[in-house]
A and B are shown apart, each in its own frame.
Chain A
């Protein structure tokens, strides 16, 4: 009896492996940015509820990790979409082209602002990129307290929870704050602007934004850096600082008046459209009026919508499926 059981199990397993290999996919697979993930998942769920098609599967791999998987090749074993919190890089285009992914469609879905926030019981502050750079940079003056940078800032120790180098939020922070702040602070040329100080004042807190929010609500002296949606969902615990006197809000991010705003994207493989069912419908759902229009459901989740004229253009792009130049 024992031998029989083993034989049955082994045959069953072999059969399973074979069907696995011959598997044609009927479910959309999406990878990419953890910033776009909260929006893409909501769209995927709607897409699944709407039709008879399966709900897309979404992995949060980070923008860079997503590009790597996306550009690995064509066919059912590679993802159909990748989400990105920055535009595709030249090197990633090359990787794609090398692996036969020659036609990629780029879709802008909205904007995101990055908040520099602290405990809502503490004082609400205003910073300039230059002040933030001085507080955070490895090649800066490395002050101990905020009032060493500017007398208007409080006499409190500098304690900042920052995103790790793998995240798209960090890329945006580097290009929008560290770069301009470096110039504003009058950095001597020839030295690196990016790079956080490593004496403990700036702490890389990992990708878990919920954790940063909890740390801020426990520690009135700490500041955190994360996406607008987390600030929006936790307004009873934390508040966003103003940057150059500008409050972080839907309007200031949309108009790019708030200095740390960036567009969010997703990329589609043209060769998969029509092969994997539902891709066209998913793209249309993501940029539909019901999702990103004036009262769209993604706005409730903290997505900052595109200007109305841009929305029309994006919808046209999806109808025409124009690939980006490689």
Chain B
């Protein structure tokens, strides 16, 4: 072999090696990204899956009509006002006659959630004929007991460092042996608003808050975004001014979201007087953020419609407006919707602007309109992560799981829209 051929072969070998290395770097980058995602999902899942069930304790309760000072014939209002908390505590104390001192009785009562009161009230209201009978009922355990049962807090340490007392631990073991400790699906998590008791806290308020805020955001930004995109793409003259507008729309998409929050505080709350902490204010601020995303997506979709469609319609005598509304826009709609959904998914995960307009709040009542105070999903995660009670750790992770599910669903919807309706020419 000649020298030239040998040099050629060496160079070739080098180029192949470089290519192999390049592929390897790519694979490593993907592996790093994937392992980060799996690590995230793993930590969230292991911390959060236990939030979907709750420990409950069976207890016998005599629905003593004399103690409640009602009869089965009493009106619903009288039945609702009776002292069910007192009745429950009396029953629990009487069921454990060996516990005498005041502080021990307090420990005993605190093994149960406060929801026992409303549970009993609802039971009597639904069937007043139960008054006077003795029922075996399941009651939610309080959060400290729940964390011990789930192993989220250690049990084999000194009493003063443990979340439950020695007495509570002894009773728990005794009841477990008697088969009176069970677990149930945590329905509260999906039906109730926020609470300072981890066993009663739910995500429904934040879900409703996010829903209303996104609805307001969609109602504002979707029509406005499409109108702006159509004008800029189809009608606006191409000159210096439209160029400046275009550049600024792109800039707007990159503005940090906290700035929109400050703008919302100054203009929407203080100038227009929209009520603080409401999804209406939140939705307006979020729409400022989604607007540029929608405009850019819609313009790209309009651009992708081939000129032959426009020219064909014009040739058939359609006015420019008819061309756009009857022919171009329907063809551009799938792409626009995809952009809109991705914009809304971003808005769903946004917290910073909501901080400024007061949606970082403890809200118990579930909002039924955009004008009632509400929190939002990511805000709820932050509020729970800040709480000192141990039971909120698993709730925080569970709420993150719910957000991730919604984000995946929305992105999936966007992909389906694109795959199903997008036309290629």
A-side interface residues toward B, CB under 8 Å? 2-3, 6, 9-10, 12-13, 16-17, 19-21, 23, 25, 27, 29, 34, 37-38, 41-42, 44-45, 48, 54-55, 57-60, 76-77, 120, 207-210, 229-230, 232-236, 295, 300-302
Contacts and interface: CB of A to CB of B under 8 A. Distances in A.
Contacts of B197: 45
Contact of B219 (A12, A54, A295, A302): A12
A236 B275 contact: no
A233 B223 contact: no
Given A20-B274, A48-B365, A236-B161, 5 more contacts: A37-B362, A54-B365, A57-B363, A58-B362, A210-B385
A59 B161 contact: no
Given A16-B371, A42-B196, A230 B388 contact: yes
Contacts of B276: 29, 77
A93 B216 CA distance: 38
A233 B390 contact: yes
Given A38-B388, A41-B196, A45-B196, A57 B361 contact: yes
Interface stretch (B122-130, B152-160, B408-416): B152-160
B261 interface: no
Contacts of A23: 275, 371
Nearest to A227: B388
Interface string B128-162: 00000000000000000000000001100100111
B362 A235 contact: no
Contacts of A38: 196, 387-388
A13 B363 contact: no
B249 interface: no
A180 to B, nearest CB: 28
Interface in B247-285: 269, 272-278, 280
Given A38-B388, A210-B385, A236 B163 contact: yes
B107 to A, nearest CB: 11
B106 interface: yes
Instruction: Give the residue among B222, B276, B371 with the most A Cβ atoms within 10 A.
Output: B276
B154 A236 contact: yes
B389 interface: yes
Contacts of A41: 196, 362
A44 B390 contact: no
A302 B388 contact: yes
Interface in B69-108: 106
A100 to B, nearest CB: 16
Contacts of A57: 277, 361-363, 373
Contacts, number: 113
Nearest to B157: A236
Contacts of A21: 272-274
B44 interface: no
B360 interface: yes
Contact of A44 (B162, B362, B370): B362
A44 B364 contact: yes
B386 interface: yes
Interface string B183-205: 00000000000011100000000
Contacts of B223: 6, 9-10
Contacts of A55: 363-365
A208 B385 contact: yes
B108 to A, nearest CB: 13
B393 to A, nearest CB: 8
Contacts of B372: 27
A9 B217 CA distance: 12
26 contacts: A3-B325, A9-B222, A9-B223, A13-B220, A16-B280, A17-B274, A19-B371, A20-B275, A20-B278, A21-B273, A21-B274, A37-B362, A38-B196, A45-B197, A54-B365, A57-B373, A60-B360, A60-B362, A60-B383, A209-B386, A209-B388, A210-B388, A233-B163, A233-B389, A236-B154, A236-B162
B335 interface: no
Contacts of B363: 55, 57
A45 B163 CA distance: 23
A45 B195 contact: yes
Interface in B154-190: 154, 157, 160-163
The 10 closest A-B pairs by CB, nearest first: A55-B364, A58-B362, A57-B373, A233-B388, A235-B161, A59-B361, A41-B362, A236-B161, A6-B223, A42-B196
B358 A16 contact: no
A13 B269 CA distance: 16
A59 B364 contact: no
B169 to A, nearest CB: 13
A115 to B, nearest CB: 12
A130 B277 CA distance: 44
Most central of B153, B275, B280, B383 by chain A CB within 10 Å: B275
Contacts of A10: 223
Given A13-B220, A233-B390, A236-B157, A29 B371 contact: no
B329 interface: yes
Contact of A234 (B216, B220, B388): B388
B269 A77 contact: yes
Interface string B30-73: 00000000000000000000000000000000000000000000
A301 B154 CA distance: 20
A58 B379 CA distance: 13
A16 B387 contact: no
A120 B278 contact: no
Contacts of A76: 275
A12 B219 CA distance: 9
Interface string B379-423: 000010111111000000000000000000000000000000000
A2 B385 CA distance: 44
A295 B220 contact: no
A54 B363 CA distance: 10
B325 A210 contact: no
